[in-house]
Structures are given as C-alpha cells and as structure tokens.
Amino acid sequence: MNSSAAIDVREVTKTYDLGDVKVEALRGVSFTIARGEYVAIMGPSGSGKSTLMNLLGCLDRPTTGRYLLDSIDVSTLGDDQLAAIRLKKLGFVFQGFNLLARTSALKNVALPLFYAGVGSRERNALAAGRLAEVGLADRVNHKPSELSGGQQQRVAIARALVNDPAVLLADEPTGNLDSTTSEELMGVFQHLNEAGRTIIMVTHDEDVAGHARRIIRLRDGRIVDDQATGKG
Amino acid sequence: MNLTQYFTEAFAVLAANRVRSLLTVLGLIIGVTAVIAIQVLGAGMAGAVSGLLGGLSERAFIVFPSQQANFTRASIKLSDLQRAKDEIPNVVAAMPAGGQRVVAAYGHAHHRITFGAGPDERFSTSTPIRYGRKLSEDDIAEGRHVCVVSDQGYTKFAMIGDPTGSSLRVGDRRFTIVGVLGTDKSGILPLNFNLDVTVPYPTYERYFVHGNAIVFARFLMADASKVEATEADTLNWLRHLKGPRVEYQTFDRKAFSKGVDGIFAGITIVVALIGAVSLLVAGIGILNIMLVSVAERTREIGLRKAIGATRFQVLLQFFIEALALSGFGCLIGLILGVTIGALVNDFAIVKFSGVVAPIPWVRSILIATVFTTVVTLAFGTYPAWRAATLDPIEALRYE
C-alpha cells in the first residue's frame, strides 16, 4: 500500500438497512488510486458504483472497512468533519451541473471559497483564475442560463477546482451533453490530468471511460476488473 | 463568518421572489403597522391629555360643594380662605377659583367676558405667552391693577398687535394689560381658569368677590406628593368650619389622570392582542414560505453541502433568509406605523388639543425588533433546521 496514495480503500462494505431488507451495495472493495491518476469507475446500475462514489466523495460512511483520503482516515468522521474534508480535499462535478441559477459564473465558482472563509476579493480573484483555466475567462459574469451545457459544466469544473482539491470526482459529467460537447469536456479533463490532477469519474459510457488511464469495473458490489486502458 | 454575504444572498433570493416575499410579509407589515400606529397615537393622546390638564398644576387642587349641597350654605368666607395656609399643613395659598361674567371695555369696544383670578404662576404649568408676561409674584403680592388677556379674550376685543401697556376697564376699575397668552386648549376641565381676562387673585378678591363668600376654591400645596393627605386635611378643615352637614369634594390632576389611565390600559390590552394574533398569522406565513423555499432548493442545499458547507452554515443561510424576510416586514411596518400614527396625530389630536407629543421612536423600534426576533426565532428556525439536516446524497438526487 502506497502511503502517498490519493485514495486508499480497504475492504469497504456498505449495507443499507431498509427495515426488513438489508441491501449490500458494496461487499468488500479494496483499491488504491495514486496521485495524478485518471480513473473511470464503470458498472451497470445496481453494481454499487453510485454508492462507491458517495463514499469516495465523503458524502457517506462505509459500514465496515477503512477509507483513507489523502492519508486521512475519513471512515469514522462526523458530519461536520466530513463537510470540512469535502471542502478542502474534494471537488465535485455532477451530471446536472448543479450551478446556482441566479448567480454569475464567477460567484458560482467562488462558492466553496465562501464556505472556506476566504475574503471576497481573494475569492473573486481565485475564481476568475479557475474560469480562465477552463477557457471561460470571457464568461465570468454570465449566469448559468446564459451559458451552453458544455460551458455550464466547465463552470462546475472550475468550481470543483477552486479549493485546489486532492481529488476531482466527476459523476456522469457528460450525461447531459451531446457527443461533440462531451469530447470537448473530455479534453478539459485530459488537460487537467496532464497538469497533475487526480481525477475519478463514474460513467457508464465506454467512450467516455476510454479517456481515463485506468478503468475499475464493478458488479454486484465487487470489483470485477481493474486495469489500465493503455492511455497516457 | 461573513454575515454580510449571507444577508446579500438572502436579499437576492427574496428579491428574485418579490411578489411571494411581499405577500408573505404583508401580514407582518399590517400587524406591526397597527401596533406601532396605535403606540404613536397613544403617545399623542397621552400628550394631549396632559396638555389639557396643563391649566391645573400638580401642586393645585380644587374644592367645591358636593352636588346635593346647598351652594349658599356651602360658600366659604374669603377671610376663612385666607387663613387656610396657616391652618392646613402643606397648603401655601388658597384663592377663589372660577370667575364671573362681566362687561369690560377696551378702548371703545364693550364686551361681555369671563373674568377672574389668575393662577399663581408658581403653581401653574406653562401656558405659552404671545406678548408681554404672565402675572408676577409682585403683581400678586401687591394686588396690582394689572391683567393678562387670554387668547380668546384677545380675539373677543379684536385687539391688533401688542396691547400691553394699554388698559382694560371692568366697571370702574382700570387694569393695565401686562400680557397676552397664546393658544391654550384647556377647555375640557371643569373650573379651569380658561378665562378671558385674569387679574391677581388679591385684586380679584378685593373688588369682585361680593358678600365675602365664594363657592369654588383653589388650594396650592408646597409638596405635590402629599396631595391626598392635604385634600383630606382640607376637607376636615372645612367640616370643622362649616359643620358636618355640608359636604365638599376635591378635584385634582390625579383624579383626572386616573380615568384616562384606565382607558389607555384598555387600549394597550386590545393592541397587544391584535399584535399577538397578527404575529401568529404572519409567523405561520413565513414558516410556510420558508418550508416551500427549502423544498424548492433541495438540490441547491445538497450542492452546498457536497462542496463543504457545514450544517451550521446551511442553517445560518436559511435562518438569515427568514430574518431578512421578517426584518423587512417589521421595518416597513415601523415606517408605515409611525407615518400613519404621526399623520393622524397631527391632523386630529394636535388640532384638537394643541399639544405636540414626541413620537416614541425608541419604543417603536423596540417593538419592531421584538416582533422580528420573535417571528424569526419561532418560525424561521424549523425550516432552517430542516435544510441543515438534509442528507446531501438524497438532496442531490431530488427532482
């Protein structure tokens, strides 16, 4: 086990207790992801990939097993401690973008910094920098409704990066985009990964997953396949 | 913790839902407006009442026979009255009260006027002066032939400009006018000294109290706080003087205030009830709209939590939104209430009483603040807590 791994998952299980029925979403999953990796997590619906994503995203805790994020054991932390970890260590990109509708691109990107207690001038400067990084330097004051789907997702990526997270988590990031825009967005991820970002992406699209350098496949709560794509 | 940012965002959200926000706080606006308007009016009324009582000093009380008494038998000798200050503790002066109707001449004009002893300035509250001065201690001590003309006396004689120095004739007596009083609306009190022309009371006694007997007397005290004991002593003194068959009664500022206070206490209770009911209704409105807001923005809450907002930060956001809503409502209510109260006060009460009471700003702001706090705490906390405790995974999945 590499102690400098960005993500270190050891024998993690997750069981949902729905009263009479217990659903075993994850049945003992172990893997590590080193810094700078670009990993796609794939699997059919019900395979446990959403559950795994929630655990990796510190939105949930494993039932058993350990999860070390950037060498911090986050498997037993409380709600507010998890919030702090999400704030500092993680960046999220969602399928539905999840931008604040009435808020400019700049303010959307700056939002995590607000919760981190960064002053407004510094927030805006950092956010503007991230928007430039995703190619939206000229869309800073546009509202989400004034941007295309691809642009909105780039704003979301800028927001995910603004706290300089250890890991960028993307959940079906191209699910709402057409294939041309998807390709563009994959370019953005590619570029970020080349710049050293650790990226984990959940997808069921083989073409999208093909952009990653490694694919972890899940089925029935277990890893069935974990290999490099030969890219990079 | 950057509260300004929270407020900015809260106002942005409320502004985006303008109509909804306005309708929601309408109840609060109406409630706070009503309560504050009545408070302002109450202050105006209280000011008016004490203004009306202005003619009767706190250090004075009036003695007059009870209604069933025989006025002739009840009349008090002037010589007895003059002894009162030596014989009744705390009484420093006693004088005839009320006046009589006489024909007076000013230049060539003859008019029937009310005429009597002027109050001793040491014991009267201030009446505005238009020209000259009031009766002085020396006027009274020396029983000078001077007089003060009231506002209505001035009008009656159609005087022009400053009449001080010229003289006024009553019968064969001439009185030099030393002053003219301004508007003094003290007309609702019985036996109040709203006379057209007043002269020093020794002068009045000397020439105008016929038969050495008076029915209404005014007593002045050294210490206003002993009014009850002094009134009792005075009644005893009169009983001793006139025998047990003649009953007298007293009237003072307190006796009047007591009745007025009762009315105000009633108004206060009604206003408090209106306030409580409107507060409850308005609060439920705010509770409802905040719950709607939380439900509408479930995904936003999920997003905020996912990117690292703590429960407290989410709680604060929605709490401040409720606070902004109720604070806005209370502020509008405060402004409307004070405006309406002041307008009604100006155009009704001040016109009638001539007294301008100060607007109770501090109390109004205090009421608005208490309303805001109570409404926000009682009805804003639950929706904010609901938002704060949402599970981010489910919130993000919410459609």
B66 and B201: one domain? yes
Smallest Cα–Cα separation from A184: which of A136, A113, A126, A123?
A136
Residue A205 lies in a domain: yes
Other CB atoms within a 10 A radius of the CB of residue B60 amount to: 25
pLDDT digits (tens, 9 = 90+) for A92-136: 999 989 999 889 999 999 999 999 999 889 999 999 999 999 999
Give the minimum alpha-carbon distance from A230 to chain B in angstroms, rounded to a whole number.
32
Whole-number pLDDT of residue A173: 93
B95 and B218: one domain? yes
Of B222, B252, B282, the last residue of a domain is B252
Whole-number pLDDT of residue B189: 44
d(CA B44, CA B89): 37
d(CA B292, CA B287): 9
Q: With CB atoms and an 8 Å threshold, state whether A111 touches B313.
A: no
Question: Percent of chain A scored above 90 by pLDDT?
Answer: 81
Whole-number pLDDT of residue A232: 59
B202 and B74: one domain? yes
pLDDT digits (tens, 9 = 90+) for B249-279: 887 877 777 777 777 778 878 887 888 888 8
Taking a C-beta distance cutoff of 8 angstroms, is the pair A196, A149 a contact?
A: no
Whole-number pLDDT of residue B128: 74
The DSSP bridge partners found for residue B176 are: B146, B167
Half-sphere exposure at residue A14, Cβ-oriented, CA atoms within 13 angstroms: 25
Q: In degrees rounded to 5, what are phi and psi of residue B254?
A: -65, -40
Question: Percent of chain B scored above 70 by pLDDT?
Answer: 88
State the best of B307, B313, B397 to mutate against chain A, taking most chain A CBs within 10 Å: B307
Residue A3 lies in a domain: no
Residue A84 lies in a domain: yes
Q: How many domains does chain A divide into? A: 1
Q: In degrees rounded to 5, what are phi and psi of residue B89?
A: -60, 145
pLDDT of residue A223 exceeding 90, the answer is yes
Whole-number pLDDT of residue B124: 55
Other CB atoms within a 10 A radius of the CB of residue A209 amount to: 20
Structure tokens, B22: 């306005």
B178 and B266: one domain? no
Taking phi over 0 as left and psi of -120 to 50 as alpha, with beta for the rest, B196 belongs to alpha
Structure tokens, A24: 């075993």
pLDDT digits (tens, 9 = 90+) for A135-187: 999 999 999 999 999 999 999 999 999 999 999 999 999 988 999 999 999 99
B295 and B334: one domain? yes
B177 and B238: one domain? yes
Amino acid at position B140, single letter: I
d(CA A88, CA A116): 8
On chain B, the residues whose CB falls within 8 A of the CB of A88 are 308
**Nearest 10 degrees: Cα torsion B156, B162, B166, B172:** 20
Whole-number pLDDT of residue A1: 44
B236 and B270: one domain? no
Residue A90 lies in a domain: yes
Residue A170 lies in a domain: yes
Could you give the C-alpha distances from B136 to B182, B190, B224, in angstroms and in order?
A: 17, 25, 21
On chain B, the residues whose CB falls within 8 A of the CB of A79 are 310-311
pLDDT digits (tens, 9 = 90+) for A66-91: 999 999 999 889 999 999 999 999 99
Q: How many domains does chain B divide into? A: 2
Structure tokens, B285: 């409105």
> Chain A residue closest to B396 (CA)?
A98
d(CA B43, CA B268): 11
Q: Which residues of chain B have pLDDT under 70?
A: 1, 49-57, 67-72, 98, 119-127, 183-194, 210-213, 351-355
B179 and B287: one domain? no
Residue A192's domain comprises 35-65+73-228
- Whichever domain contains A83, its CATH number is 3.40.50.300
Q: With CB atoms and an 8 Å threshold, state whether A112 touches B396.
A: no
Of B226, B252, B278, the last residue of a domain is B252
B236 and B111: one domain? yes
Q: With CB atoms and an 8 Å threshold, state whether A59 touches B306.
A: yes
Q: How confident is residue A13, by pLDDT bands cut at 50, 70 and 90? A: very high
Residue A211 lies in a domain: yes
Whole-number pLDDT of residue A231: 72
Q: Which residues of B lie closer than 8 Å to A, measured between beta carbons?
A: 1-2, 5, 12-13, 16, 299-300, 302-313, 392-393, 396
Residue B275's domain comprises 3-53+257-397
